[in-house]
Amino acid sequence: MAPIPGLHELFDQVARGEPVVNYPLEGALVTDPTEYRYWNVSYFPVYGPNGIIQGITAASQEITQQKKAEKALIESEKLAAVGRLAASIAHEINNPLEAVTNLLYLARLSTNLEEVPNLLQAADTELRRVSAIAAQTLRFHRQSSSPQAIESAAGRAINDSDTAHRQKVAVINQAIAKRFFPKGDAVGRSLSIDIDDVKGPWQIVGIARDTKAGDPRSSAPLRMTYIPLAQIDPFNPVDPTTPATNPPTPPEENQDRVADLILLRTTGDPANTIADLRVAVASIDPNLPLIKITTIRDQVDDFMAHDQLVSTLTTLFAGLALLLAAIGLYGVMSYNVVRRTNEIGIRIALGAQTPAVQWMILSESLLLLAIGVCLGLPLTLLTTKYIKGQLFGLSALDPVTFTVALAVVSAMTMFAAWLPARRASKVDPMVALRCD
């Protein structure tokens, strides 16, 4: 059984004096690698007279057939659900199709030509209903109906076999494994949580990959521990320092054992399922209220509302600054053209072509642009470390952003300088030479 994942870690745990009780194990035997099997195993250390562990007592129960039966039952339930869905869809489609058939029959027999367009319009409406039902059905194929699981990096995930009567297990994320188990031996070890009602100890059976939680801009992953709700004690532990009362105070219910948040994956518009969700909850417990129903998109929008406001205002002020810069550049270049009217007139009188005159004015603007880029770009690169924390999903040194910004500023500069350059090229030499 050497190649079975997690077995070596279990032996290491027992060698440290920690027994393993009713641990679910799965894998393939060396003697029959083609068949995947399941076991419930228990390992206990055997101590010698001197108190040193000299061996391991093992007890295992193969539950492969039980697992196969459970999977077969789940598959049959899936097939039954698909059959019920297909029957419902066929019923919904049949009604408008029958209506279309009747409407076309009436249109074919009608002798009133003014009534035929109304019948065809009604048939078109029914066909649109069929199209809407078909489009909604396609989403069952394009979108998975199962929730997105957090990818496992090592060991196993929490499953239905982790009940209250089994050994307490936990799954940690990579951040905890790297911090407290740098040697990579986290699976099979035990941990305690610094919360009285879920203190543990909990046996680590798997490592989940890091995920973002809370602030999406945070680059450092939070240390997360996942434990089964079924294995949390139903009542809070009694404080030993609390004086006894007569009659004794009833224990307090452990609120950590209650899931106060349920995630539900839907197809189509989530708002259309709210009524059905309330009916489903009321069928279980009419006195159980649904305090708040929100979509993931609404939660993300609420979380990012302040950032979106700052982003909108920053974009507005940036556009205003760009407009003021363009107006200022236009004013400077226009004044420069007026000041050099005599020079421009002489150049045109001596045979200067229109493109040469325009380039003379534009080249001065491009020189100003080059000086601004040479001064502004290094200063921007120096300030990126201060705005890095305000960016989400974007690098502070994103080349596309820098390229677009330079292109916009360059285009604004060329446009603001092109108007005075165009006016300069249309100067009448005779008028210019008469100017003081």
Shared domain for 312 and 401, answered yes or no, is yes
Looking at the structure, tell me whether residues 424 and 342 fall in a common domain: yes
The answer as to whether 291 is a domain residue is no
Question: Does residue 234 form part of some domain?
Answer: yes
Do 416 and 326 contact (CB within 8 A), yes or no?
A: yes
The domain total for the chain is: 4
Would you call 66 helix, strand, or coil by DSSP?
helix
> Do 78 and 40 fall within a single domain?
no
Instruction: Say what the pLDDT of residue 146 is.
Output: 45
Mark whether 311 and 430 lie in a shared domain.
yes
Shared domain for 309 and 430, answered yes or no, is: yes
Same domain, 130 and 210: no
Q: Which long-range contacts (CB under 8 A, 24 or more apart) does 122-129 make?
A: 123/99, 126/96, 126/97, 126/99, 126/100, 127/96, 127/100, 129/96
Print pLDDT tens along the chain (436 aa): 445 666 777 777 788 887 877 777 777 776 776 777 888 888 888 888 887 888 888 888 888 888 888 778 777 777 777 777 777 777 778 888 888 888 888 888 877 777 888 888 888 888 888 877 777 666 555 444 444 556 667 788 888 888 877 888 999 998 888 888 888 888 888 888 887 777 778 889 988 888 877 666 666 778 888 888 888 877 777 666 767 666 666 667 777 777 677 777 777 777 777 777 787 777 777 777 777 888 878 877 877 787 788 888 988 998 898 888 888 888 887 777 777 777 777 777 777 787 887 788 788 888 888 888 888 888 888 887 777 766 766 777 778 888 888 888 888 888 888 877 777 777 776 665 665 5
138 vs 141: CA distance, rounded Å = 5
CATH of the domain at 86: 1.10.287
- Compute the chain's Rg from CA coordinates: 37
Helix axes 354-387, 399-425, angle to 10 degrees: 150
The Cα 425–Cα 255 span in angstroms is 81
Domain boundary among the residues 17, 41, 62 is at: 62
7-31 pLDDT, tens digit each = 777 777 788 887 877 777 777 776 7
pLDDT in tens, 214-223: 666 666 778 8
Give the structural domain span for 211: 152-260
Which of 44, 62, 80 is the last residue before a domain boundary? 62
State the chain's maximal CA–CA distance in angstroms: 121
Amino acid at the residue 58? A
**Model pLDDT, residue 6:** 64
Considering 108, 142, 176, which residue would you say is the last residue of a domain?
142
Q: Which residue has the tokens 């709700």?
A: 229
Residue 190 lies in a domain: yes
pLDDT score, position 341: 72
17 shares a domain with 76: no
- The predicted pLDDT at position 149 comes to 55
Residue 289 inside a domain? The answer is: no
Q: In terms of domains, do 250 and 161 share one?
A: yes
Tokens matching residue 95: 């009604």
Query: Do residue 127 and residue 183 come from a single domain?
Result: no
Q: Measure the CA–CA gap between 188 and 182, rounded to whole angstroms.
A: 14
pLDDT of residue 2: 43
Confirm if 301 and 387 have CB atoms less than 8 A apart.
no
Whether 181 and 244 map to the same domain: the answer is yes
* Straight-line distance from the first to the last Cα atom of the chain, in angstroms, rounded to the nearest whole number: 104
pLDDT per position as a tens digit, 163-202? 877 888 999 998 888 888 888 888 888 888 887 777 778 8
